[in-house]
Amino acid sequence: MSNILNLWQPGSIWLITGERGVGAVGGKTHLAMWLTDAYLEEGDANKHTFVYSNVIVSKRQEDETWLKVTPDDVRGYNFTTSFYTFFLKLSENLITKPGSKHVLILDEAAVFVGALSFTSVLAQNLTALATLVRKFDLTLVIIAVRAELIIKKLRETQEGLLDGRMFKDAWAIRKWAPHLLAAGYSPKEIALQLSH
């Protein structure tokens, strides 16, 4: 298993970008949820690690079909679609589990914090949250098709708040990992990580 607890350090902000995946494998959301699974497993879910996300979780059946599961079926996972429910669940876990670590994953973030939405209340609230992640031992993971679609404060490492990037983009894979393509790996099987 990976050492995701060291990668997703509390107080850090990550951006995952890339093209659409194929089926249930190979895309940005799949990568984030695979990392989430490792995070919950390594951190002893419901005791020391918690994940909050707007991603609907499903489980693969023996017949290769997918079954939607309730968030209660996944230890440490909290489905949330609003800042209100996120902060409610976060504060409850911070009070009952002192010293715990938390990850907030925002899938399709460009929908609510797009590059031109910097004056919207939601974008301002998310920017405010991003400046406070270290206070909550929280890691923020933003998923978008392209970095340019996200407000600048959340996509920049030099002038913004971003600490690391994960690429599922074909251009990035061709640029930084041509040896993996030459070895026969499909672009959907590759993810690149850059830290600030």
Question: How far, CA to CA in Å, does 178 sit from each of 69, 146, 170, 174?
Answer: 38, 21, 10, 5
Query: Residue 97 is part of which domain span?
Result: 4-195
Average pLDDT rounded to a whole number, residues 162-180? 86
- The confidence score (pLDDT) of residue 103 equals 93
- The confidence score (pLDDT) of residue 1 equals 40
- The confidence score (pLDDT) of residue 126 equals 78
Contact criterion met (CB below 8 Å) for 24 and 67:
no
Specify the CATH number for the domain of residue 105: 3.40.50
Give the span between the Cα atoms of 102 and 91, in whole angstroms. Answer: 11
Q: Residue 81 CA to chain centroid, in angstroms? A: 14
User: What is the tens place of the pLDDT at every residue in 73-110?
Assistant: 677 888 888 888 899 999 999 999 888 889 999 998 77
Closest CA to 130 of 120, 121, 122, 140: 140
- The confidence score (pLDDT) of residue 117 equals 56
User: What is the tens place of the pLDDT at every residue in 33-73?
Assistant: 888 888 888 877 667 889 999 888 877 778 878 777 766 66
Return contacts of 95-98, CB within 8 angstroms, 24+ apart: 97/47, 97/48, 97/50
Residue 14 has pLDDT above 80, yes or no: yes
Residue 187 has pLDDT above 70, yes or no: yes
Output 18 or 74, whichever has higher pLDDT: 18
- Quote the number of domains for the chain: 1
Q: Residue 98 CA to chain centroid, in angstroms? A: 23
Closest CA to 35 of 139, 108, 149: 139
Can you tell me which residue has the tokens 């913004």?
160
Give the span between the Cα atoms of 136 and 60, in whole angstroms. Answer: 33
Parallel, antiparallel, or unpaired: how do β-strands 192-195 and 101-106 relate? unpaired
